[in-house]
Structure 1
Amino acid sequence: MPARAPRICGQCGGVHQPGDRCAKADVSTRARKAKADAKRPSARARGYDGEWEKARADYLAAYPSCRRCGAPATLVDHIVPIRNAPDRRLDRTNFQALCTPCHSSWKQAKERNTP
C-alpha cells in the first residue's frame, strides 16, 4: 500500500509527513480556541450547577449505556439544547445518556446543522 504524500503546511510553509503536526499550527489552534473560550460564559452561568450535577448523576445511574451505541455512558446530553429551551434544563424527558465519542461526533455535528 503506498504511503500518503507529504503536505505543505498552510501555517509555516514547511513540508510535513502525514500524521505530523506543525508546531506553529498547534500554537495558532490553541490561541484561537483560547480566544473563543474567553468569550464563552462559565459552565455555572450556562446552567450546569449543583442541581444539574445531581440530576446528571441520577440519570447515569438509571441509564448507564449510551443511547446510540450501547457503550458505557459518560455524559448526559440535552436532546433539545438548553439555549433553545432553558425551561427544560432539568427535565428528565429531555435527557439522553451518551458516551463521549457519540456526543463529540454525532450530537455536535447534528447541532451544527440545526438552525
Structure 2
Amino acid sequence: MPYAAPRICQCGRVVATGMRCGCQAQRDRERKARHDQNRPSARQRGYDSKWQKEAKAFLATHSRCVMCGAPSRVVDHATPHKGNRKLFWSRSNWQPLCTFCHSSRKQSMEKRR
C-alpha cells in the first residue's frame, strides 16, 4: 500500500504524513493560553459546590452515558447554557455522559454547530 509523501511546513521543516510540526503545536499552545486568559474560572461560570452536589445526585439516578451506555461520570448540558442561569440549572437540559463522550464526541458536535 503506498504512503503519502511528507510535506513541507510553513517553517520549512519536512513533516511526515499525519504528523504535526513542532511550530504548529507551539502556535496552538499559545492560542489556547490567550483564550484561557479571558475565560472565567469554573467557579465563576457556576460550577461550585452546589453544582457538585446536584451533579452527584443526578449521576446517582442516571448511571449510564446517553451516547454509548458506559458508566456516566459527567453531567453535561445538552444545550449549551452560555451563562444563562435558568438553563444552567434546568435538569431537563442535563444529560449523563462518560468522560470519553463528553471530552471527544460532544466537543466535536459543539464545534460543528
TM-score (norm: length of structure 2): 0.83
Secondary structure of 1:2's counterpart equals coil
Two-structure CA RMSD over aligned residues (Å)? 2.0
Secondary structure of 1:43's counterpart equals coil
Count of residue pairs the alignment pairs up: 113
- List alignment gaps of at least 5 residues for structure 2: none
Cα distance in 2 for partners of 1:19, 1:109 equals 19
- List alignment gaps of at least 5 residues for structure 1: none
Identity %: 47
Residue deviations 1:18-45 (CA, integer Å, cap 9, x gap): 2433222221111110001101111111
| AA matched with 1:86 | R
Cα distance in 2 for partners of 1:111, 1:82 equals 12
Aligned to 2:63: 64
Go from structure 1 to structure 2 and tell me whether the alpha carbon gap of 1:16 and 1:112 turns closer, same or farther (over 3 Å shift): closer
Aligned to 1:9: 9
Go from structure 1 to structure 2 and tell me whether the alpha carbon gap of 1:20 and 1:110 turns closer, same or farther (over 3 Å shift): closer
Aligned to 1:48: 47
